[in-house]
């Protein structure tokens, strides 16, 4: 697939702080791509370099195959949406969205037509919203106006820096679905910065997980979640059980409390030997009769039982040497299980992943 953005061995420092350490990425045309990581990992710095608001110390940035290292922001063909709406509160929705078009010399009838179409895409009917002042809108509506204002100038790439952060949970969840729908409809390449794993998993075609100025893994949401490349990715993305131990030559894993855990080729894709960490997602562990017949099956004691509504969480101690977190759905399946009870837990070899200990 054709590349829209290419980052090649980009480095950036701020005094003694190395914000980016030789980062390389390729982002495809019409892709929803997320930069995911904790605060200070370098994701916003990378976004600002793509936008032209910062310049790399070393490396190359290409947009549409063109080197843009020295190209100013307004000549890069990118749109920007930042955290917290940057709309003009004293203007109407129409005037906010029209701002960039007016600056580019579009005529009134052209502007009207474009805004009609854009508000339709945003699920904001022109007749209802065009004349409203922005300060009369909800937070989610203001965010849509800002995105519309960025998209209407038809950028090749839209850069979004945690734009949903200020919104409350329900509006944020709704906007995640809206953004994904919008991106597929308009076909613009979206590059989205977030520290929220749920946002990245929900919206992205692919994700780059970053830590300390380096890219740890690039992949689809499924690849990132089910086959983390290392311990950091396994811990950062969702919940997981991490068990320190060793992989032997017969492709088995052993740790205190767990002996001869059978691995598959998919659970150890890098063929790691010796010291390793086994990652098992809580929802992949089966309990009681459901674990019967599994090659990796162990007995443990229920230490905690937590009702979470749609699912329940069990903390199961194995030989007093380790505790596994198990997610059971629906929650009613644990109604007959009590704290202190001995139960069987197990998982398929394909449902675990071996990663390097560091």
Q: What is the mean pLDDT of residues 90-103?
A: 90
- Same structural domain, 132 and 277: no
Q: Determine, yes or no, domain membership for 233.
A: no
Q: Is residue 234 part of a domain?
A: no
User: Of the candidates 191, 226, 261, which is a domain's last residue?
Assistant: 226
pLDDT, residue 296, reads 95
pLDDT exceeds 80 at position 167: no
Q: Are residues 155 and 110 in the same domain?
A: yes
Neighbour count for residue 226 (Cβ, 10 Å): 17
Structural domain containing residue 327: 239-355
Measured distance CA(161)–CA(47) in Å, rounded: 8
- Domain shared by 308 and 331, yes or no: yes
What per-residue confidence (pLDDT) applies to 245?
94
Sign of CA dihedral 64, 68, 73, 75: negative
Q: Note whether 204 and 312 are same-domain residues.
A: no
Same domain, 276 and 138: no
Residues 143 and 266 in one domain: no
**Per the domain annotation, does 109 fall within a domain?**
yes
Q: Are residues 262 and 304 in the same domain?
A: yes
Phi-psi map region of 137: left, alpha, beta (phi>0 left; psi -120 to 50 alpha): beta
Q: 110: Cβ–Cβ under 8 A, 6 or more apart, which residues? A: 101
Q: What is the CA radius of gyration of the chain?
A: 24
Judged against a pLDDT cut of 90, whether residue 223 lies above it is answered with: yes
Predicted pLDDT of residue 143: 84
**Same domain, residue pair 22 and 154:** yes
Report pLDDT for 166.
Answer: 66
State the total domains in the chain.
2
346 vs 291: CA distance, rounded Å: 5
The answer on 254 and 220 residing in a single domain is no
Q: Is 148 exposed, middle or buried (0-12, 13-18, 19+ CB in 10 A)?
A: buried
- Residue 138's pLDDT is 86
pLDDT in tens, 8-65: 999 999 999 999 999 999 999 999 999 999 999 999 999 999 999 999 999 999 999 9
Q: How far is CA 24 from CA 11, 20, 339, in A?
A: 10, 10, 49
The percent of residues in the chain predicted with pLDDT above 90, rounded, is: 74
Interval 175-220: pLDDT, tens: 888 889 889 988 899 999 999 999 999 999 999 999 999 999 999 9
In a domain, 175, yes or no: yes
| Tens-place pLDDT, residues 228-283 | 999 999 999 989 999 999 999 888 999 988 888 999 988 998 889 999 999 999 99
Q: How far apart are CA 277 and CA 32, in angstroms?
A: 31
CA 241 remoteness from chain centre: 20
* Nearest residue to 164 via CA among 116, 219, 203, 215: 203
């Amino acid at each position: 697939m054709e590349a829209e953005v290419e980052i090649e061995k980009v480095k950036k420092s701020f005094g003694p702080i190395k914000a980016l350490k030789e980062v390389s990425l390729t982002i495809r045309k019409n892709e929803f791509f997320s930069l995911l990581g904790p605060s200070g990992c370098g994701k916003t710095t990378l976004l600002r370099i793509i936008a032209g608001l910062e310049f790399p110390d070393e490396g190359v940035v290409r947009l549409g195959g063109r080197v843009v290292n020295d190209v100013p922001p307004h000549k890069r063909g990118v749109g920007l949406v930042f955290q917290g709406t940057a709309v003009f509160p004293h203007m109407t929705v129409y005037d906010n969205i029209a701002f960039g078009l007016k600056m580019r010399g579009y005529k009134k009838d052209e502007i009207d037509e474009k805004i009609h179409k854009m508000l339709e895409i945003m699920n904001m009917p022109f007749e209802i919203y065009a004349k409203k002042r922005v300060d009369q809108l909800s937070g989610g509506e203001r965010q849509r106006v800002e995105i519309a204002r960025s998209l209407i100038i038809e950028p090749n790439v839209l850069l979004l820096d945690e734009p949903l952060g200020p919104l409350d949970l329900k509006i944020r969840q709704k906007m995640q679905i809206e953004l994904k729908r919008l991106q597929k409809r308009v076909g613009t390449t979206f590059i989205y910065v977030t520290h929220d794993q749920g946002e990245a998993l929900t919206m992205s075609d692919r994700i780059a997980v970053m830590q300390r100025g380096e890219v740890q893994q690039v992949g689809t949401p499924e690849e990132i979640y089910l086959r983390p490349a290392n311990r950091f990715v396994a811990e950062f993305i969702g919940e997981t059980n991490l068990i320190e131990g060793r992989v032997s030559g017969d492709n088995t894993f052993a740790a205190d409390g767990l002996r001869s855990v059978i691995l598959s080729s998919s659970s150890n894709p890098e063929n790691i030997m010796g010291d390793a960490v086994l990652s098992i997602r809580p929802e992949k562990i089966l309990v009681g009769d459901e674990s019967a017949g599994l090659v990796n099956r162990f007995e443990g004691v229920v230490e905690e039982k937590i009702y979470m509504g749609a699912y329940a969480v069990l903390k199961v101690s194995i030989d007093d040497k380790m505790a596994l977190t198990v997610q059971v759905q629906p929650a009613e399946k644990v109604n007959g299980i009590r704290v202190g009870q001995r139960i069987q837990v197990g998982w398929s070899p394909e449902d675990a992943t071996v990663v390097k200990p560091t």
